[in-house]
């Protein structure tokens, strides 16, 4: 049985991850997506670096590791956060969350195609369910009066980046603590966003409403800060099945909390797609008890 503290932490983390989707959508009302990522990711990296430094963790990155960390950051942090924020800009936030969390299925399929893992009936069911979820939402975006099917594409590219980054992290031989690798990946990706954003977006006026400043603080301190600290701590205590259950719950939290936070009313297609994704993740990640 999981410790009570770990269960509470897992529930809190799931809530934070889920609520973050409508908060991102809200933030895009006053700030363009690339600058939003640059601001919040920079703040999160600085907060994490300060937190772990105060706990005695050396945040120094050896010169020999710079290239490897940059390579890992490209899909893991920069790719996922770039395309996911573009997807949120186009789609309802709950819908974007559903599509983003097809990541575990992409991870499994990439492992089969490129690393020789075996295709099992469970994986086949997982892939079919994920395909059904994506297809259902894509058809609705294509047929809706104000549909934005491009957002579905952005979210699938984001999920693919996250999946590829996960596989690369698993196969990495870096002998560094996970928080150190993550903080430096975030710092390098934030620097990339600050360099890319001015080329595609106008420079912000930095005159935001109070709720917007709160949303930016949430993005930096909670999404990139507290949630990451929770995750690093729980990853050492939780079995993979518990992590899978958490991932399955995030899109539902995103759909439900988007109603009061940004006024998004979900369609039946959203709940049906979320169910397909839950089944897909369960088939891909959960194992039968032995």
CA separation for the pair 201, 241 (Å, rounded) = 41
Query: For the chain, how many structural domains are there in total?
Result: 1
The whole-number pLDDT of residue 243 equals 60
The whole-number pLDDT of residue 52 equals 94
CA separation for the pair 28, 31 (Å, rounded) = 5
Q: What is the value of pTM for the model shown?
A: 0.90
The whole-number pLDDT of residue 241 equals 56
The whole-number pLDDT of residue 190 equals 98
Is 143 contained in some domain?
yes
Containing structural domain, residue 276: 4-285
What burial letters (b/e) apply to 13-40, b meaning 16+ CB within 10 Å? bbbbbbbbbbbbbbbbebbbbbbbbbbb
The whole-number pLDDT of residue 116 equals 75
The helix/strand/coil state of 56 is: coil
| Contact of 151 with 25, CB cutoff 8 Å | no
Is 290 contained in some domain?
no
Per-residue pLDDT of the chain (290 residues; tens, 9 = 90+): 556 777 777 788 889 999 999 999 999 999 999 999 999 999 999 999 999 999 999 999 999 999 999 999 999 999 999 999 999 999 999 999 999 988 878 888 888 887 777 778 887 888 888 889 999 999 999 888 678 999 999 999 999 998 898 888 888 888 899 899 999 999 999 999 999 999 999 999 999 999 999 999 999 999 999 988 887 776 666 665 556 666 778 899 999 999 999 999 999 999 999 999 888 878 776 665 54
The whole-number pLDDT of residue 245 equals 63
Phi (first) and psi of residue 57, to 5 degrees: -85, 125
Is 197 contained in some domain?
yes
């Amino acid at each position: 049985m999981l410790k009570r503290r770990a269960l509470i932490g897992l529930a809190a983390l799931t809530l934070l991850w889920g609520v973050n989707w409508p908060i991102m959508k809200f933030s895009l009302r006053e700030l363009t997506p690339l600058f939003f990522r640059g601001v919040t990711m920079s703040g999160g990296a600085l907060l994490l670096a300060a937190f772990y430094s105060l706990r005695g963790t050396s945040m120094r990155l050896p010169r020999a590791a710079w290239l490897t960390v940059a390579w890992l950051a490209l899909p893991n942090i920069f790719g996922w956060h770039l395309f996911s924020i573009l997807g949120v800009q186009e789609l309802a936030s709950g819908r974007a969350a559903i599509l983003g969390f097809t990541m575990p299925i992409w991870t499994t399929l990439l492992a089969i195609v490129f690393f020789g893992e075996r295709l099992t009936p469970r994986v086949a069911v997982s892939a079919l369910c994920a395909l059904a979820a994506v297809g259902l939402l894509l058809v609705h975006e294509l047929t809706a009066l104000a549909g934005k099917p491009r957002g579905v594409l952005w979210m699938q590219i984001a999920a693919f980046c996250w999946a590829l980054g996960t596989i690369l992290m698993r196969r990495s031989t870096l002998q560094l603590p996970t928080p150190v690798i993550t903080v430096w990946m975030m710092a390098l990706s934030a620097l990339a966003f600050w360099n890319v954003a001015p080329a595609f977006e106008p420079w912000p006026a930095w005159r935001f409403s109070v709720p917007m400043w709160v949303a930016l603080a949430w993005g930096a301190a909670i999404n990139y800060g507290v949630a990451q600290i929770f995750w690093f701590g729980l990853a050492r205590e939780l079995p993979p099945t518990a992590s899978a259950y958490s991932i399955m719950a995030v899109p539902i939290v995103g759909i439900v909390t988007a109603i009061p936070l940004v006024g998004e009313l979900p369609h039946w297609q959203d709940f049906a797609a979320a169910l397909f994704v839950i089944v897909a993740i369960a088939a891909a990640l959960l194992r039968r008890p032995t």
